[in-house]
Chains A and B, each alone.
Chain A
Amino acid sequence: MKAIVTVMPKPGVLDPQGKAIARALGHLGFGGVGEVRAGKVIELELPDADPEAARKTAAAMAEQLLANTVIESFSVAIAK
């Protein structure tokens, strides 16, 4: 079963990458772009057959390694 973990900088944590992307979009002529935040997506092939079990496994992985919860939050989605 495939789990998709999305890791994002927490609100209030400075995201200089997001700021740089926003500036570059402005240079390209995309006006009116508000705040841009950049994170990462991690796809995992898990042995779990049950979606709920896979979600729990992926969340434990995110908690211990995939995200640094001091500065990042994460969400887990299970792919069909």
Chain B
Amino acid sequence: MRAGIIVFPGINRERDMAIALELASGRKPRMLWHTETDLSGLDLVVIPGGFSYGDYLRAGAMAAHSPIMSAVRAHAARGGYVLGACNGFQILTEAGLLPGALLRNVSLRFLAMDCHLRVERAGTAFTGHFQQGEVFRAVLAHGEGNYYADEATLERLEGEGLVAFRYVAANGRLTAVSNLNGSARAIAGIFSPNLRVLGLMPHAENLVDPVAGGDDAKKLFEGLAAAFAA
């Protein structure tokens, strides 16, 4: 798997993401400074988490208009794979590569805690090693993760099977408290229509090694590595 990780000023999860990708694939990802525009030869472009441009104006708004994002759009239009995690998800919505927006958490608090995700769409490059409906632990660290889209968009996402993950309780049930940030329909991640762009609010990359708290979420990266191994 040839992966590249975009580094915007203010991004701070790029090394965690690099560790997760290398553990799964055995190959070091390319680090891409935000002024670069050449993404040729990459299977997967990752926009990691952090606080690009200090979250000025809106989380992700500045990064969405930076030079490298034109190259990311072209990469996606060619059928290339893109993963946006946390701030990366916010950037993908601001750039119009995924629908909707991430609002302030309903509690108004920055949340840094474990969460449980249910796989709503198995069998994609990102979810190939999960079973449909499988529940796994991931990590939240965000102030604006409350997914919003209008009803028509939500209906389309549900109808076309583009909801990737939902926040659930550890037993897999949707409860009033399991939807930690108040997201519409408890949505934690969504796919583009071709299933090649994934925006995911929690940090799967922070649970890939038992030494660092557990490897509950490593299947996501192992699935990706397997998808591109051929």
A36 to B94, CA, bound (A): 26
Near B by CB (< 8 A), chain A positions 50-80 give 64-66, 68, 70-71
Interface of chain A: mostly helix, strand, loop or mixed: helix
Near A by CB (< 8 A), chain B positions 147-185 give 148-150, 182
The residue in chain B whose Cβ has the minimal distance to the Cβ of A19 is: B108
B58 lies within 8 A of A68 (CB): yes
A16 to B146, CA, bound (A): 11
A16 lies within 8 A of B148 (CB): no
Would you call B230 an interface residue if the criterion is a C-beta within 8 Å of the partner chain's C-beta atoms? Answer: no
Known contacts A16-B108, A20-B108: A65-B65 contact under CB 8 Å: yes
Would you call A28 an interface residue if the criterion is a C-beta within 8 Å of the partner chain's C-beta atoms? Answer: no
Near B by CB (< 8 A), chain A positions 22-46 give none
Near A by CB (< 8 A), chain B positions 83-126 give 93-94, 99-101, 103-108
Residues of A contacting B229 with CB < 8 Å? Answer: none
Would you call A13 an interface residue if the criterion is a C-beta within 8 Å of the partner chain's C-beta atoms? Answer: yes
A17 to B106, CA, bound (A): 9
Residues of A contacting B146 with CB < 8 Å? Answer: 14
Return the contact of A70 from the options B100, B105, B182 (Cβ within 8 A): B100
Residues of A contacting B77 with CB < 8 Å? Answer: none
B149 lies within 8 A of A16 (CB): no
Return the contact of A68 from the options B101, B104, B105, B108 (Cβ within 8 A): B101
A64 to B64, CA, bound (A): 11
A16 lies within 8 A of B105 (CB): yes
The residue in chain A whose Cβ has the minimal distance to the Cβ of B62 is: A65
A72 to chain B, nearest CB (A): 9
The residue in chain B whose Cβ has the minimal distance to the Cβ of A13 is: B148
Interface residues of B (CB under 8 A from A): 57-58, 61, 65, 93-94, 99-101, 103-108, 146, 148-150, 182
11 pairs from A and B in contact (CB 8 Å cutoff): A16-B103, A16-B104, A16-B108, A17-B104, A65-B57, A65-B61, A66-B57, A68-B58, A68-B94, A68-B101, A70-B150
Closest 5 CB pairs of A and B: A70-B101, A71-B101, A16-B108, A16-B104, A20-B108
